[in-house]
Structure 1
Amino acid sequence: MSSASPSPSRSNGLVCGSMEPGPANTIADVAGVTVGHVTLNEGDLRTGFTALLPHQGNLFREKVPAAVEVINGFGKSAGLIQVDELGTLETPVLLTNTFGVGTGANALIKRAIADNPEIGRSTGTVNPVVMECNDGYLSDIQAMALTEANAISALEAASPKFEQGSVGAGTGMSAFGFKGGIGSASRVFTLDGRTFTLGALVLANFGKPGDLVLPDGRRPHHKDLKKVEERGSVIILLATDVPLESRQLKRVARRAGAGLARLGAYYGNGSGDIALAFSTAYRLPHFTESDFIARDILHEDKIDLLFQAAAETTQEAVLNAMIASPAMRGRGRNKRPSLADWLTEQGK
């Protein structure tokens, strides 16, 4: 019997896959990972920042291996080219709306310089990673209301315990015509007699209304759902404590797409669907006197466990984002119904 905290989806009898969830059933079950939010929810604003920190040290000096999989590239994220080329992550990751990317990048750069004054002087520059979805249906995205101070506050608020649903970057997001947002899930498994974890954090803002498929096969529909083309996006962050190289992490990130497909998504033309995966198992020093780095790497024959975990956690994290988000009205009285309300009406 699982001792995990009940997630919004599991509390409604919706179980994704067969693997065991971690104690909190969030990405923070991977030791050292923390998440923080800043939310702007007033007037015509439904937006914010969500920050994820892979560890609590100096990330520029102690990078983590990482990889990016662009499932569909209709997006305006920052920093992904270098992550793909070098296979490392050297700043926290910020999630936000499309027009907040530049603001978030500036905040990450200034924070990194404050901690590492040699950046751009005696050593190279820093690669800020900011990823986005468009919350313009519910929020006045043209207001460009988010500030660098908001981004820093999200970073400073990072904790192993964090809210899901309509918070931070997820405040104004939509999914499958319902209210979307921030969601998370985790899975634990055994390798060489040791317990390891893989967790997902998603910013869910995608899916064609009427296409959502629940794990029990039901297809939720609401009178306010209108058949329109797929124009949203989804960002998936995957963290694990399994020692993987960047090539393996890219393979794991690719399987997030399987979780999206289980939900009924087909990665529409206007959808920016991007997965970033990283490992906390070892750190890559920025400054080193050695020409070589010794590290353990997972045997490729054992990677299927992580593929399955990536698919299951992505699927569950999206459902958690939707079920944790109440119905919302926003800019221009636009409205998104709540999946939780639909489930209640159906008797779950």
Structure 2
Amino acid sequence: MLRLLFAIFVLSAALATPAVAGDRRVRDLGIKIGVLAPGPLNAITDVAGVRVGHLTIERGQRIHTGVTAIVPAGGNLRQAPLPAAVHVGNGYGKLAGATQIEELGEIETPIVLTNTLDVADAIAGIVDWTLAQPGNGDVRSVNAIVGETNDGYLNDIRARVVRAADVRRAIRMARAGPVGEGAVGAGTGTVAFGWKGGIGTASRILPPALGGYRVGVLVQTNMGGILVVDGVRVGEALGRYYLKDQVAAHDQSGDGSIMIVLATDAPLSDRNLRRLAKRAIAGLARTGASMTNGSGDYVIAFSTSDRVRRVASDGPRTILDLPNNAMSPLFQAAAEATEEAILDSLFLARDVRGHRGFVEALPVDEVMRLWRQAKGQEGRG
């Protein structure tokens, strides 16, 4: 009972976390990634219908982990799936549900992110939630989608503290609106580029002449490399990066993982969603990620458009699908939003002393000094 009350308290606090923590988001500090405009929230929830819920589990120094649930649309997802695709940058990971997405080109459940050893319980939570939905009384198969990164440095991952009930609760509490970022939910115990990683999100809106479509991204960052902020080689300047001769006690290798969830309201087929997912890797690369042998780099992309949403039918149906030559602006949006979401996950993180050691947050003031110097803005506030 005590554990349940604690989890509810932490979940409520995480859900209440605004998308902007003071002035620490990169855009609020003057760093404008790309050329396209962000949505009103600059979050994945700028794509109508998308909801996000975090459950953060922290117990003293030993446990720092959690769950992030992305509910892609309203209605019964099992009965009316959304077109979707997966792209694998490097496949050292355990993305549950990927093969059926590859085969059918659709998602039929919420997407849940957690830590590596709690994937099984996350699957159970999604299955429980799906079977309980009205209209699913005869359902005997559920393709639960669970992504993970390994938070085993800050979190005692072998304790496997995430339960199916935690996942169900995160899904039920998912909301539209601002999204908590930094060390929350599935990002509570992650490390990126040698600093504290976490959850980040961003969005882009195409100009009306290009359809006005929206692209939103949410990331769980836990990867390595040589951090680059808006073209500035910050990791190298601060002396913390992959392949440096001497590294600190905590792992600064290039190994690690990132989960990227990409939503759009553009009416896209699963084939073009796969193409869109590939462009998120361009945003990842711009931040300096190494995508090494031990890195799991995954993108899940889906469309919320009613014009392409699947329905239960044995007969043909007509859908409105954007042509190939309309995709390039969406590609740009995906790359920009991914890059900014990754940076926000770092800028909004906090110092964490965990199971195996201490990981400090990115020194934002020093990063901004380096950025202003590189951009010829030194001396500006």
TM-score (norm 1): 0.92
1:213 is aligned, of 222, 228, 231, to 228
After superposition, where does 1:174-323 map in structure 2 within 5 Å?
174-190=191-207, 194-208=211-225, 211-220=226-235, 221-222=237-238, 226=247, 228-282=252-306, 284-288=309-313, 291-323=315-347
Which structure 1 residue ranges, 4+ long, deviate > 6 Å from structure 2?
Answer: 4-7
Aligned to 2:116: 98
Distance of 1:223 and 1:341 partners within structure 2: 16
> Which residues of structure 1 form unaligned runs of 5+?
none
Aligned 8 A contact 2:53 2:175 in 1:
yes
Aligned 8 A contact 2:229 2:371 in 1:
no
Structure 1 residues 209-229: Cα deviation after superposition (integer angstroms, max 9, x where no partner): xx1111042423546772743
SS of the aligned residue for 2:27 comes to helix
Distance of 1:266 and 1:346 partners within structure 2: 22
> Which residues of structure 2 form unaligned runs of 5+?
1-18, 242-246, 373-381
* Counterpart AA for 1:144: R
Structure 1 residues 86-116: Cα deviation after superposition (integer angstroms, max 9, x where no partner): 0000000000000111001011111111111
Structure 1 residues 10-34: Cα deviation after superposition (integer angstroms, max 9, x where no partner): 1222221111111110000000001
Distance of 2:256 and 2:205 partners within structure 1: 30
Range moving further from structure 2, 98-107 or 8-17: 8-17
Distance of 2:363 and 2:274 partners within structure 1: 32
Structure 1 residues 66-90: Cα deviation after superposition (integer angstroms, max 9, x where no partner): 0000110000120011001100000
In the comparison of the two structures, how many residue pairs are matched? 338
Structure 1 residues 37-79: Cα deviation after superposition (integer angstroms, max 9, x where no partner): 0001122111000000111211111110000001100001200
Q: Let me know the Cα RMSD of the aligned residues.
A: 2.1
* Counterpart AA for 1:89: I
Distance of 1:93 and 1:156 partners within structure 2: 13
Deviation at 1:193, TM superposition (A): 6.4
Aligned to 2:139: 119
Structure 1 residues 105-139: Cα deviation after superposition (integer angstroms, max 9, x where no partner): 0111111111112111xxxx110000000000111
**Residues 347 and 194 of structure 1, relative CA distance in 2, 3 Å threshold:** closer
**Residues 103 and 342 of structure 1, relative CA distance in 2, 3 Å threshold:** farther
Distance of 1:177 and 1:193 partners within structure 2: 39
TM-score (norm 2): 0.84
1:76 is aligned, of 88, 94, 119, to 94
Distance of 1:345 and 1:190 partners within structure 2: 33
Aligned 8 A contact 1:224 1:337 in 2:
no
Aligned to 1:134: 150
Q: Does 1:150 align with 2:166?
A: yes
SS of the aligned residue for 2:148 comes to strand
Deviation at 1:259, TM superposition (A): 0.5
Distance of 1:167 and 1:266 partners within structure 2: 24
Distance of 1:36 and 1:158 partners within structure 2: 4
* Counterpart AA for 2:157: I
Distance of 2:253 and 2:233 partners within structure 1: 21
Deviation at 1:327, TM superposition (A): 1.6
Structure 1 residues 164-190: Cα deviation after superposition (integer angstroms, max 9, x where no partner): 110000000111011100000000013
After superposition, where does 1:327-342 map in structure 2 within 5 Å?
327-340=351-364, 342=366
Distance of 2:301 and 2:292 partners within structure 1: 22
Higher strand fraction (1 or 2)? 1
Aligned 8 A contact 1:322 1:339 in 2:
no
2:47 is aligned, of 27, 30, 42, to 30
* Counterpart AA for 1:169: A
Distance of 2:31 and 2:363 partners within structure 1: 12
Distance of 1:78 and 1:191 partners within structure 2: 37
**Residues 330 and 259 of structure 1, relative CA distance in 2, 3 Å threshold:** same
**Residues 284 and 106 of structure 1, relative CA distance in 2, 3 Å threshold:** same
